[in-house]
Structure 1
Amino acid sequence: MNFAELGVPSNLSAVLEAQGITIPTPIQAATLPDSLAGRDVLGRGRTGSGKTYAFLLPLVARLDASKMPAMPRKPRALIMAPTRELVTQIREALLPLAKEAGLSTLTVFGGVGQNPQVAGLKKGVDIVIACPGRLEDLMGQGHCDLSAVETTILDEADHMADLGFLPGVRRIMDKTPQQGQRLLFSATLDKAIDVLVKRFLHNPVTHEADSAQSPVAKMSHHVLHIGREQKVSVLVDLTSAPGRTVIFTRTKHGAKALARQLNSKGVPAVELHGNLSQNARTRNMEAFHSGKASTLVATDVAARGIHVDDVALVVHADPPSEHKAYLHRSGRTARAGAEGTVITLMTDDQVRDVRDLTRLAGIKPTTTKVTSAGHPILTELAPGARTLVPGGYAAPAPAGGRSSGESSGARSGGGGRNRSRTGGGARGAKSTTSGQSRGGSGGQSAGGQRTPKSPATGGRPAGGGARRRPAAAGSAGSGSHSASSFSGRR
Structure 2
Amino acid sequence: MPDSNSSNSGQPAAEPVTFEQLGVPEPLVRVLRKDGKTSAFPIQRDTLPDALAGRDILGRGRTGSGKTLAFSIPLVARLAADQEGRATHGRGGAAGSGSLPRPRGLVLAPTRELANQIDEVLNPLAQAYGMRTCTVYGGVGQGRQVDALRRGAKIVVACPGRLEDLLRQHKLSLEDVEIAVLDEADEMADMGFLPAVERILAQVRPGGQRMLFSATLDHGVDAVVKRFLKDPKIHEVDSATQHVDLMTHHIFRTTQAAKHDLVRKLASGTGRRILFTRTKFQAKKLAKNLIDNGIPAAQLHGNLSQNQRDRNLGAFSRGEVKVLVATDVAARGVDISDVDLVVQVDPPADPKSFLHRSGRTARAGRSGDVVTLVLPDQWRDTRRMLRMAHIDAKPVQVTADSPEVTELVGPVAKPIRGWSLQTEQPQASGERPARSRRGGRSGYRGRLQTDRRFGRGGQERHKGRGRGRQASWSQRPSEDRPVFDREVGPLDGRTRSRRHAGSSDHTNECNHGHGRNRAESRLDTDRRDLRRGRRRHRRDNNPFRYASSR
Name which of 295, 319, 344 aligns with 1:267.
295
Identify which of 16, 28, 43 aligns with 1:12: 28
Alignment of structure 1 residues 312-391 onto 2, 5 Å? 312-370=340-398, 372-391=399-418
* TM-superposition CA deviations, 1:232-272 (whole Å, max 9, x none): 21111111111111011111111111111111111100111
The AA in structure 1 aligned to 2:408 is: L
Q: Look up the match of 1:31.
A: 47
- The residue aligned with 1:162 is 190
Point out which structure has higher relative CO (alpha carbons under 8 A, 6+ apart).
Answer: 1
Deviation (angstroms), 1:394: 3.6
Q: 2:133 aligns with which of 98, 105, 130?
A: 105
Of 42, 62, 83, which aligns to 2:58?
42
1:171 aligns to 2:199 (yes or no): yes
Alignment pair present for 1:397 and 2:397 = no
Query: What is the rounded CA distance, in whole Å, between the counterparts of 2:394 and 2:316 in structure 1?
Result: 29
| Contact 2:283/2:327 (8 A) holds in 1 | yes
Give the secondary-structure state (helix, strand or coil) at the position aligned to 1:301.
helix
Report the 3-state secondary structure (helix = DSSP H, G, I; strand = E; otherwise coil) of the residue aligned with 2:337: coil
> Residues 131 and 354 (structure 1 numbering): CA distance in 2 closer, same or farther, change over 3 Å?
same
The offset of 1:292, in angstroms, is 2.2
Identify the match of residue 151 of structure 1 among 160, 173, 179.
Answer: 179
Instruction: Name the counterpart of 1:85.
Output: 113
Distance 1:398 1:386, change over 3 A: closer
Partner Cα distance (1:148, 1:210) in 2: 34
Q: Which amino acid aligns with 1:37?
A: A
SS at match of 1:256: helix
Change in Cα spacing, 1:285 to 1:260, as seen in structure 2 (3 Å) is same
Q: Deviations over 1:408-439 (max 9, x none)?
A: xxxxxxxxxxxxxxxxxxxxxxxxxxxxxxxx
Number of residue pairs the alignment of both structures matches = 405
C-alpha offsets along residues 169-189 of structure 1, whole Å, 9 cap, x if unaligned? Answer: 111111112211100011223
Query: 1:42 corresponds to which letter in structure 2?
Result: L
Shift of 1:92: 0.6
Q: How much has 1:338 moved relative to structure 2?
A: 1.2
If each structure's helix is expressed as a fraction of its own residues, which one has the higher value? 2
| Structure 1: unaligned runs, 5 residues or longer | 407-490
Does the 8 Å CA contact 1:248/1:297 hold for their aligned counterparts? yes
Q: Aligned with 1:88: secondary structure? A: helix
Aligned partner of residue 231 in structure 2, secondary structure: coil
Kindly state the Cα deviation for residue 190 of structure 1 after the two structures are TM-superposed. 2.4
Instruction: Give the secondary-structure state (helix, strand or coil) at the position aligned to 2:382.
Output: helix
In the alignment, residue 189 of structure 2 is paired with which amino acid?
A
Separation (CA, whole Å) in 2 of partners of 1:311 and 1:107: 25
Deviation at 1:398, TM superposition (A): 4.4
Residue identity in the other structure for 1:262:
L
Tell me the TM-score normalised to structure 2 length.
0.72
- Structure 2 partner of 1:477: none
Q: Percent of aligned positions with the same letter in both sequences?
A: 52
Q: 1:398 to 1:31 in 2, by over 3 A?
A: closer
Preserved contact between residue 252 and residue 299 of structure 1 (Cα < 8 Å): yes
Equivalence for 2:286: 258
1:288 aligns with 2:316: yes
Equivalent residues of 2:215, 2:239 under 8 A apart? no
Farther-moved stretch of structure 1 (117-126 vs 315-324): 117-126
Aligned partners of 1:395 and 1:404 also within 8 Å: no
Q: 1:231 to 1:392 in 2, by over 3 A?
A: farther
Contact 2:188 2:194 in 1 (8 A): yes
Structure 2 residue aligned with 1:420: none
**Whole-angstrom CA distance in 2 between matches of 1:122 and 1:292:** 35
| Aligned residue number for residue 434 of structure 1 | none
Q: CA deviation at 1:289?
A: 1.5
Name the residue aligned to 1:62.
78
Q: Residue deviations 1:142-196, cap 9 Å, x none?
A: 0021001000000000100111111111111111122111000112232521011
The TM-score, its normalising length taken from structure 1, stands at 0.80
Amino acid at match of 2:477: R
1:243 to 232, 253, 271: 271
1:2 to 12, 18, 24: 18
Question: Equivalents in 1 of 2:219, 2:145: separation in Å?
Answer: 34
- Do 2:337 and 2:366's aligned partners in 1 also have CA atoms closer than 8 Å? no
Please identify, of 210-219 and 103-112, the stretch whose mean Cα deviation from structure 2 is larger.
210-219
SS of residue paired to 1:334: coil
Deviation at 1:307, TM superposition (A): 1.5
| Aligned-partner SS, 2:46 | helix
Match for residue 210 of structure 2 among 182, 190, 195: 182
Contact kept? 1:267, 1:388, Cα under 8 Å: yes
Write out per-residue CA displacement over residues 42-76 of structure 1, whole angstroms, 9 at most, x where no aligned residue.
00111111000000000000000001554242111
Q: Deviations over 1:314-354 (max 9, x none)?
A: 01111111111111111111111111100001001110111
**Contact 1:219 / 1:334 at 8 angstroms: preserved in 2?**
yes
Q: Secondary structure at the match of 1:62?
A: helix
Q: 137-146 or 67-76: which moved more?
A: 67-76
Matches within 5 A, 1:186-205: 186-205=214-233
Describe the SS at the equivalent of 1:385: coil
Task: Kindly indicate whether residue 234 of structure 2 is the aligned counterpart of residue 217 of structure 1.
Answer: no
